[in-house]
Structure 1
Amino acid sequence: MRSAVLALGLALLVAACRVDTSVHVEVEDAGSGTVTVVFNADAVAVSRVPELAGGLLFDDARAAGWAVEGPLFRADGGVQIRAVKRFESAGQLPQVLEELAGKDVIFTGVVLEQTRSFAETSYRFQADINPTPPLDDFSDDALAAIFDGQPFGRPLQDLIAEAGTPEDSLGFEFLLTLIDSDDAFDASSAAFGVDGELEDEMVELSPEVDGSTATWRFSYGDRPVRVGASTMISDTLAPLWLNIARVAGIAFGALLLGVGVAKLVALLRAPRGRGRRATRRRQQRAAAREAEASRPRKRLLRLLVVDVHGVIVRPTDPREGLLLPVILGENPDIDPELIRDRHRMLVLGRLTAEEFWSDLGLGPIGRDVETRYLSSFKLVPGLHQFLDRVASRSLPVAAVGNQPREWGLRLRRMAELEDSVSSWLVSGDVGAVLPERSLFEATRRVMSVDLYDCLYLSSVPEYLDAASDMGMATGYFAASPEDVQETEHTLIRGYDDILRGRSTGT
Structure 2
Amino acid sequence: MSAAVRRVALLVVLLMGLAACQVDIEVGIGFNEDGSGLVTVDVALDQEAVALAPDITSLLLIDDIEDPASGWSYNDPRIDDQGRTSFSASKPFGSVEQLESVLSEIFGSEEVFRDFTFERATSFAQTDYRVTGVVDLSGGMDLFTDPQLTERLGGEPLGQPIPNLENALAGVTVRLVLDLPVGAEQEETLELGQGAVSIEMTAQEESGTAVTLRWVAWAAFALLGLSVLIAIAGYLLDRRNRSRSIDPTISQEPLVRSTSSAAVQPPARRLRLVVLNPLGVLFEPSDEPSQLLVDFAAERGSEVDAETVDQIHSQAVLGRITPAELWTGLGLDDDPAELTEQYLDQYTVRSGARDFVAEMTRRELPVACLTNDIASWSSALRDRLQIEGVDTWIVSSEVGVCMPAPGIYEALRRTTAVPYENALLVDVRAEHLDAANALGMSTALLAESRPQGGDAPGHAVVTSFSDFFRRRPRS
Partner secondary structure for residue 83 of structure 1: strand
**Residues 420 and 485 of structure 1: CA distance in aligned 2, closer, same or farther (over 3 Å):** farther
CA distance in 2, matches of 1:421, 1:448: 16
- Aligned match for 2:442, one of 444, 468, 473: 473
- Aligned match for 1:443, one of 412, 420, 429: 412
Q: Tell me, yes or no, if the aligned pair for 1:390 and 1:396 is still in contact at 8 Å.
A: yes
Q: Tell me, yes or no, if the aligned pair for 2:369 and 2:394 is still in contact at 8 Å.
A: yes
The unaligned stretches of length 5 or more in structure 1 are 1-10, 27-32, 43-66, 89-95, 107-130, 136-157, 181-211, 228-255
Partner secondary structure for residue 280 of structure 2: helix
- Aligned match for 2:379, one of 382, 400, 409: 409
Question: Which structure 2 residues correspond to residues 253-292 of structure 1 after superposition, within 5 A?
Answer: 288=261, 291-292=263-264
- Residue 117 of structure 2 corresponds to residue 83 of structure 1: yes
Partner secondary structure for residue 369 of structure 2: strand
- Residue 337 of structure 2 corresponds to residue 367 of structure 1: yes
Shift of 1:487: 2.9
CA distance in 1, matches of 2:274, 2:421: 11
Deviates more, 1:214-223 or 1:342-351: 214-223
Shift of 1:317: 2.5
**Residues 458 and 76 of structure 1: CA distance in aligned 2, closer, same or farther (over 3 Å):** farther
Question: Which structure 2 residues correspond to residues 481-500 of structure 1 after superposition, within 5 A?
Answer: 486-488=455-457, 489-500=459-470
- Aligned match for 1:173, one of 171, 176, 184: 176
CA distance in 1, matches of 2:426, 2:391: 16
- Residue 192 of structure 2 corresponds to residue 220 of structure 1: yes
The unaligned stretches of length 5 or more in structure 2 are 11-24, 42-60, 62-93, 123-129, 141-150, 159-164, 200-229
CA distance in 2, matches of 1:395, 1:35: 41
Question: Which structure 2 residues correspond to residues 286-325 of structure 1 after superposition, within 5 A?
Answer: 288=261, 291-292=263-264, 295-325=265-295
Q: Which amino acid aligns with 1:435?
A: P
Partner secondary structure for residue 310 of structure 1: coil
Per-residue CA deviations over 1:417-470 (Å, capped at 9, x if unaligned) read 3x4111111221222222222222211111111111111111222222222211
Per-residue CA deviations over 1:477-499 (Å, capped at 9, x if unaligned) read 12467999933322211123335
- Percent of residue pairs identical: 23
Q: Tell me, yes or no, if the aligned pair for 2:29 and 2:178 is still in contact at 8 Å.
A: yes
**Residues 395 and 408 of structure 1: CA distance in aligned 2, closer, same or farther (over 3 Å):** same
CA distance in 2, matches of 1:482, 1:378: 26
CA distance in 1, matches of 2:391, 2:423: 14
Shift of 1:351: 0.9
CA distance in 2, matches of 1:370, 1:340: 17
CA distance in 1, matches of 2:321, 2:374: 9
- Residue 115 of structure 2 corresponds to residue 69 of structure 1: no
**Residues 174 and 427 of structure 1: CA distance in aligned 2, closer, same or farther (over 3 Å):** same
- Residue 399 of structure 2 corresponds to residue 427 of structure 1: no
Aligned to 2:227: none
Aligned to 1:387: 357
**Residues 38 and 351 of structure 1: CA distance in aligned 2, closer, same or farther (over 3 Å):** closer
- Residue 339 of structure 2 corresponds to residue 356 of structure 1: no
Aligned to 1:145: none
Q: Tell me, yes or no, if the aligned pair for 2:445 and 2:460 is still in contact at 8 Å.
A: yes
TM-score between the two structures when normalised by the length of structure 2: 0.53
Q: Tell me, yes or no, if the aligned pair for 1:34 and 1:87 is still in contact at 8 Å.
A: no
Q: Tell me, yes or no, if the aligned pair for 1:324 and 1:339 is still in contact at 8 Å.
A: yes
Partner secondary structure for residue 426 of structure 2: strand
CA distance in 2, matches of 1:387, 1:367: 30
Q: Which amino acid aligns with 2:187?
A: T
CA distance in 1, matches of 2:461, 2:34: 44
Aligned to 1:328: 298
Per-residue CA deviations over 1:81-100 (Å, capped at 9, x if unaligned) read 96313699xxxxxxx88x74
Shift of 1:304: 0.9
Q: RMSD over aligned Cα, in angstroms?
A: 6.0
Q: Tell me, yes or no, if the aligned pair for 1:314 and 1:377 is still in contact at 8 Å.
A: yes
CA distance in 2, matches of 1:221, 1:333: 41
CA distance in 2, matches of 1:335, 1:162: 45
Shift of 1:163: 9.3
How many residues align? The count is 343
**Residues 176 and 359 of structure 1: CA distance in aligned 2, closer, same or farther (over 3 Å):** closer
Shift of 1:335: 5.6
CA distance in 2, matches of 1:433, 1:470: 15
Partner secondary structure for residue 370 of structure 2: strand
CA distance in 2, matches of 1:316, 1:343: 16
**Residues 86 and 357 of structure 1: CA distance in aligned 2, closer, same or farther (over 3 Å):** closer
**Residues 282 and 39 of structure 1: CA distance in aligned 2, closer, same or farther (over 3 Å):** farther
Q: Tell me, yes or no, if the aligned pair for 1:478 and 1:493 is still in contact at 8 Å.
A: yes
Shift of 1:70: 2.9
Partner secondary structure for residue 98 of structure 2: strand
Question: Which structure 2 residues correspond to residues 53-202 of structure 1 after superposition, within 5 A?
Answer: 69-71=96-98, 83-85=117-119, 100-101=133-134, 171-175=174-178, 180=183
**Residues 375 and 277 of structure 1: CA distance in aligned 2, closer, same or farther (over 3 Å):** farther
Shift of 1:502: 7.0
Q: Tell me, yes or no, if the aligned pair for 1:23 and 1:36 is still in contact at 8 Å.
A: no
Aligned to 1:151: none
**Residues 306 and 162 of structure 1: CA distance in aligned 2, closer, same or farther (over 3 Å):** farther
TM-score between the two structures when normalised by the length of structure 1: 0.51
- Residue 434 of structure 2 corresponds to residue 462 of structure 1: no
Partner secondary structure for residue 491 of structure 1: strand
CA distance in 2, matches of 1:452, 1:84: 38
